[in-house]
Chains A and B, each alone.
Chain A
Amino acid sequence: MKDPLVTLSGIVKRFGDFTAVHRLDLEIAAGEFIAIMGPSGCGKTTTLRMIAGLEAPTEGQLRIGGRLMNDVPVHERDTPMVWQSLALFPFLNTRENVEFGLRMRGIGTAERRRRAVEWLERLEIREFAERSIDTLSGGQRQRVALARSLVTEPQILLLDEPLSALDAHLVIRMQGVLTRLQRELGITFVYVTHSQSEAFAMADRIVIMSGGRIVQTGRPREIYRTPECRFVAEFVGRNNILEGISRGDAIETPLGVFPAANLPAAGRRAILVIAADLVELSRTGSEGSIPCSLISEEFVGATVTLFLEAADGTELKVQLPERALGDLDLHAGGRFHLSWPDDVGHVLAEN
């Protein structure tokens, strides 16, 4: 890892009796695109606001570029943020919004305008320079918010669920804009989101938070294929989770005994995680396959998730490409058999 740009060590944030963030340690490298992901109330936005200086940590140290930032006021930090609500200034036009940060730093009118226009061009919104903010579309406003934050050429950009208000097709486009910008500028992006697809599509590294703690950090693929705890296995992707007891080289679950690696000592409880996209579905049973009946399906374009129920009531999921469905008869109650290769199971020690 390169030199860390941002270091959070032992950060605790309490609001009265409520602890929003528990002893958080995190290093963010210069030039890294990091996504902090978790359900609402997990402390991800509070963490971002502490980096920006909008909240003061109750305990611990926050450093940016080596400098201790705990007591540095917001306006001296140069940690611009793209807000979920965008927070554009409604009484200023597009160009004036972009110029705002430069104006606050006392930069002269001509220079201000030159740099603002440069950024408007870069984000392809030059033609809206003199337009009022409320005449712009959601995607255009998003670009104004980005230009406004980047015009001061910061080392770091904080993004707080910036795409959550956009239509699906615009989200994909803006993801492209963001990743391209981050690569071109080479600065650090800290992106807070609850959306797995946004985090996985853009980030170099993902931090998963739950209940004010970091539960796992890793590259998107690692998080997706090797969750380290039950929370991540349930929160990320579509996983089948089977509780069981280790027999050393296999795990005994209510659905049968499955060979698996990395099991705890025999007799200890463990969890077997099988990603829904690795499960195989067939009409006819084979040795060791699990008979199930179909409950419902979720169809989202190219992929389909089938929800099935085993004889003992365990719910299982299968994710298939839509074209692989072929002429399968998908009526509720239909009988199927599920199986998976021995090596795809991922084991978690239950704690």
Chain B
Amino acid sequence: MSARITTALLLSWLLAVFIFIFAPIVASVVFSFNSDRFPTIPLGSFTTRWYDMIFADVEIGEAARNSILVSLSTSVIATMLGFATAYTDYRYRFPLKGPYLALILLPPTIPLIIMALAMLAWLSWIGASGQLWSIIVAHSVLTAPFAMAIIRLRLNQIDPNLEAAAWNLGSTEWKALRSVIMPFCRPAIVSAACLTAAISFDEFAVAWFVSGLNKTVPVIILEIVQGNIDPQVNAIGSLVFLTSISLVVIAQVFFISRVGRA
């Protein structure tokens, strides 16, 4: 009996946590379809007016294109970097490997605002700030450690003889990398690509500092919010949330179903 009460309490607690996390997002989605200008209860009537407005807005369209370009490029670059470092870690023993790994995993531990300032200082010093690709560079640095961590986890599960078996059957080291290591890591690679894209797509601080006139979606949201109360923000927010959550879910599905398996 008491076990059942405990279970019920724990479930209620879980439910409360989920409500706490998702209520603001749900509210934002609900208000994005609400005809009233101000987010108040009772709700007005159902409308897609705010969506029509953001789709018609040239500046928002531009920001969306920028965000997509940045997050796709970041995803490709960061996943490649992450794979290369994870493979280096898996394959080779060398002096100072500890510091090497620590350095690679460092960026996410630096406060974003510091990272953003440092990026801005560095990029302007070498004359590369204010470009779209400045954001791509900064985001790649920021997200590569996540890609590395995911792919490294997968490589930890590999039979240590698998690569040698490929050499033994006539593959050169490059061919073995392409036809054994990469296919083995495929679920982790897909997962890493989705996750790094999602992080980049949402990232505000660094993008705001180094972007110059090339605004991304999070940057434009702040500008709109600073100006006035505008339900368009709810509409943009809902779409951004949909994009990010989809990427994360895809990453999770690949991660749990393949990488998580023993």
Contacts and interface: CB of A to CB of B under 8 A. Distances in A.
15 contacts: A54-B167, A74-B167, A75-B167, A75-B170, A76-B170, A85-B159, A85-B161, A87-B161, A87-B162, A91-B183, A100-B166, A101-B170, A104-B166, A104-B171, A152-B170
B97 interface: no
Contacts of B246: none
A80 interface: yes
Interface in A150-184: 152
Interface string B166-204: 111111100100011001101000000000000000000
A74 B164 contact: yes
Given A85-B159, A89-B180, A54 B164 contact: yes
B164 A104 contact: no
A2 interface: no
Interface residues of A, number: 25
B259 to A, nearest CB: 13
B188 to A, nearest CB: 12
Contacts of A76: 170
Contacts of A74: 164, 167-168
Contact of A52 (B162, B168, B171, B183): B168
Contacts of B171: 75, 104
Interface residues of B, number: 18
Interface of A: 52, 54, 73-76, 78-81, 83, 85, 87, 89-92, 100-101, 103-105, 148-149, 152
Given A89-B183, A90-B184, 8 more contacts: A54-B168, A73-B167, A75-B167, A75-B171, A83-B165, A87-B162, A89-B184, A105-B170
Nearest to A52: B168
A79 B168 contact: yes
B169 A152 contact: yes
Given A89-B180, A104-B170, A81 B186 contact: no
B161 A101 contact: no
Contact of B175 (A83, A90, A104): A104
Nearest to A84: B161
Chain A interface mostly: loop
Nearest to A76: B170
Contacts of A73: 167, 172
B186 to A, nearest CB: 7
Chain B interface mostly: helix
B160 to A, nearest CB: 8
A87 B164 CA distance: 9
A52, A74, A101: most-surrounded residue (chain B CB, <10 A): A74
A17 B188 CA distance: 38
By Cβ-Cβ distance, the 6 closest A-B pairs, closest first, are A87-B165, A101-B169, A104-B170, A87-B161, A74-B167, A91-B183
Nearest to A90: B184
B161, B169, B180: most-surrounded residue (chain A CB, <10 A): B169
A90 B171 CA distance: 17
Contacts of A87: 159, 161-162, 164-165
A54, A80, A90, A104: most-surrounded residue (chain B CB, <10 A): A104
A91 B166 CA distance: 13
A90 B168 CA distance: 17
B134 to A, nearest CB: 38
B261 to A, nearest CB: 10
Contacts of A149: 169
A89 B162 contact: yes
A92 B179 CA distance: 10
A243 to B, nearest CB: 43
A97 to B, nearest CB: 10
A91 B184 contact: yes
Given A54-B164, A104-B179, A148 B169 contact: yes
B164 to A, nearest CB: 6
Contacts of A104: 166, 169-171, 175, 179
A105 B165 CA distance: 14
B189 to A, nearest CB: 12
A61 B170 CA distance: 22
Contacts of A85: 159, 161
Contacts of B168: 52, 54, 74-75, 79-81
Contacts of A105: 170
A279 B34 CA distance: 98
Contacts of A78: 170
A89 B164 CA distance: 11
A257 to B, nearest CB: 55
A71 to B, nearest CB: 15
